[in-house]
Structure 1
């Protein structure tokens, strides 16, 4: 059994994390620290395999602590436990293995533990058991649309009302985090008086639970006196998997892309079917959705670099054209596609892609394309 330590300045977080680790059964928590300095003093004595670190701590934050731990004890695996996903990139910069968002979700912890075990076992290639480590019994698709499927079902759940559907979508985006009931009322029924709004919320929660039960969707709606949250069982969420894989790939941003990395790129790319919640266009999801969009665009550019380097022109063109289909304003994608058509000596295709790009700008933005892309287009035309 692997040995673990936890470091967090708030003791209640230790209790919740230790409980989740013990339920997993593959790690043993040998010590818990509320002061980073004490952990640094004891780490050689304890000889842990993994350290779970909070990021936001007074005096010394988790990022600084991780650098010191790795300098002293380079074999340890670092897992950050944080309430803020924006720390993920910074976490990977200090060579952390992964991160978990608070409050700690059992399924997410199990994923990270599998990664820890795989890394420490140093087995290659992966065993058949590892290759099939997780077969979800349900799935929730949020990219390109919002579709929920129950156990072993190919039919998506039909919700009683649009408000019930939006309620679940909001709870899914705040997965595992309690959402205040008045926040939900303001979101879904902003123009109703409080008494009517809270009645509607209770009715919608009842209908949501009933549909989940009838359709055997492997998730639970939990509640407290102040609000509600969602807990997953064996259920895959596409945007969650996309973000997880993408953040893993960001660690190799400055490294050359090999076949193994490309396999991960392709896996992440397949999860992306379009914008978060598709044409439902919830206003509250716009910022999160834009972050996912930009992550997808960056991934495709990395894939295009690999295809270009290995002279896989068809694959490069396919993925870049998909970016333009989803994001017709993306200048870099248009330039790269035109470059490919110039190399293929396909003047009609080059002219067509530029005309489509220009028409989009005139129709949607009321302006011509930038001088940069106009000049690049004219330069390419002269070579054909």
Structure 2
């Protein structure tokens, strides 16, 4: 196991370096008073674990942890602090834990044993481990396909950062653009520190789910490793790409269509997501009409009606779904259901355009 320690205070660094060198299974130990040097040498050190002082003036421990993880995703972090145990409860951010100054050899060994256990678990599960993410209506992140174990984020900004990265579907986005979306009115230097701390929070919670190399730092910005993600957005975007083809596969479009359970990040107040809501909403309606036409064309009216009902339930303002459902009901002679559909639409519209549509729907019912 390879380890580094970073502490801007010479006495603190000397003490922990002396203790680390006493641990026989540490094959490599290096120390830094200057956090920038630790970042520059991260690839050379290739450390399994880093002992970082939190209270450093230029680059604090949380920011440094994120910067080290950018270059070495496998690295585990233990923070060192002079705060007492009651003050520590306010942080609640540690991946492995904290060590209180003055650091003791026994405490270090306990933390190292936890690292060995964690890294062993990650090696076993990382190849097949995935995150399951929903963004339509509710924004939920889970490490289980049944979405029973919902992952909680340290801050709302950490969760929103994941949403921003996911929205780019593996394509890099620059740090400046992320900062503008998360902290548009904040002074740049402070916002940059917030960004690195927030990245650390995301890496930490995802690492605890068994995934190491999740946030990727590329030449043109930051992205997430899509190999570790299964999301309703992935399926819906696949359906969008499929419906544009000359000979689309109905199964792919249908799968994506039913993944849409509501507006894009509907229950989150993400300003950057507002424009995309209309885009995905329009495609959802187009898919529904396309699928209903397809099933009607091959004589599967039950499937056609099922598609239209789902479209109308998710989007009760869909005029096309409403009018076609009314026609289907009237052709069946089910006027009661036709009027029920009409009333459901009526209670959701109140503008002039809605009044015009209501008149058209009334005419359809009268026609039959």
Task: Give 1:210 shift.
Answer: 0.7
Report the Cα distance in structure 2 between the residues aligned to 1:372 and 1:318, rounded to whole angstroms: 22
- List per-residue Cα deviations over 1:14-51 (Å, max 9, x = no partner): xxxxxxxxxxxxxxxxxxxxxxxxxxxxxxxxxxxxxx
Q: Counterpart in 1 of 2:164?
A: 170
Count of residue correspondences = 241
Report the Cα distance in structure 1 between the residues aligned to 2:278 and 2:267, rounded to whole angstroms: 14
Q: Counterpart in 2 of 1:313?
A: 301
* Bigger mean CA offset, 223-232 vs 160-169: 223-232
- List per-residue Cα deviations over 1:212-259 (Å, max 9, x = no partner): 10112475112369843222334323212321233223323xx6x9xx
Task: Give 1:174 shift.
Answer: 2.0
Task: Give 1:168 shift.
Answer: 0.9
Q: Counterpart in 1 of 2:366?
A: 381
Q: Counterpart in 1 of 2:79?
A: none
Structure 2 residue 275 is the aligned partner of structure 1 residue 287: yes
Query: 310, 316, 319: which one pairs with 1:322?
Result: 310
Structure 2 residue 150 is the aligned partner of structure 1 residue 156: yes
Structure 2 residue 252 is the aligned partner of structure 1 residue 264: yes
Structure 2 counterparts to residues 244-263 of structure 1, below 5 A:
244-252=238-246, 261-263=249-251
Report the Cα distance in structure 1 between the residues aligned to 2:252 and 2:196, rounded to whole angstroms: 42
Q: Counterpart in 1 of 2:320?
A: 332
Report the Cα distance in structure 1 between the residues aligned to 2:189 and 2:266, rounded to whole angstroms: 32
- List per-residue Cα deviations over 1:315-370 (Å, max 9, x = no partner): 322221222222222211111011011112122221222122222112xxx33625
Report the Cα distance in structure 2 between the residues aligned to 1:376 and 1:270, rounded to whole angstroms: 26
Q: Would you say the 8 A contact 1:164–1:204 is kept in 2?
A: yes
Report the Cα distance in structure 2 between the residues aligned to 1:267 and 1:227, rounded to whole angstroms: 32
Report the Cα distance in structure 2 between the residues aligned to 1:265 and 1:174, rounded to whole angstroms: 21
3-state SS of 2:214 partner: strand
Q: Counterpart in 1 of 2:224?
A: 230
Unmatched segments (≥5 aa) in structure 2: 1-126
* Structure 1 pair 150–226 and aligned structure 2 pair: CA distance change class (3 A): same
Q: Counterpart in 2 of 1:187?
A: 181
Structure 2 residue 233 is the aligned partner of structure 1 residue 239: yes
Report the Cα distance in structure 2 between the residues aligned to 1:301 and 1:242, rounded to whole angstroms: 15
* Structure 1 pair 290–216 and aligned structure 2 pair: CA distance change class (3 A): farther
3-state SS of 2:349 partner: helix
* Structure 1 pair 194–271 and aligned structure 2 pair: CA distance change class (3 A): same
Task: Give 1:165 shift.
Answer: 0.2
Structure 2 residue 193 is the aligned partner of structure 1 residue 208: no
Q: Would you say the 8 A contact 1:321–1:337 is kept in 2?
A: yes
Q: RMSD value over aligned CA atoms?
A: 2.8
Q: TM-score, normalised by structure 1?
A: 0.56
* Structure 1 pair 330–135 and aligned structure 2 pair: CA distance change class (3 A): farther
Query: 134, 137, 149: which one pairs with 1:144?
Result: 137
Q: Would you say the 8 A contact 1:151–1:216 is kept in 2?
A: no
Q: Counterpart in 2 of 1:37?
A: none
Unmatched segments (≥5 aa) in structure 1: 1-133
3-state SS of 1:279 partner: coil
Report the Cα distance in structure 2 between the residues aligned to 1:226 and 1:314, rounded to whole angstroms: 49
Q: Counterpart in 2 of 1:26?
A: none
Q: TM-score, normalised by structure 2?
A: 0.58
Task: Give 1:296 shift.
Answer: 1.8
Report the Cα distance in structure 1 between the residues aligned to 2:221 and 2:241, rounded to whole angstroms: 30
Task: Give the structure with higher Rg (CA).
Answer: 2
* Structure 1 pair 135–263 and aligned structure 2 pair: CA distance change class (3 A): farther
User: Structure 1 stretches (4+) deviating beyond 6 angstroms?
Assistant: none
3-state SS of 1:175 partner: coil
Q: Would you say the 8 A contact 1:137–1:218 is kept in 2?
A: no
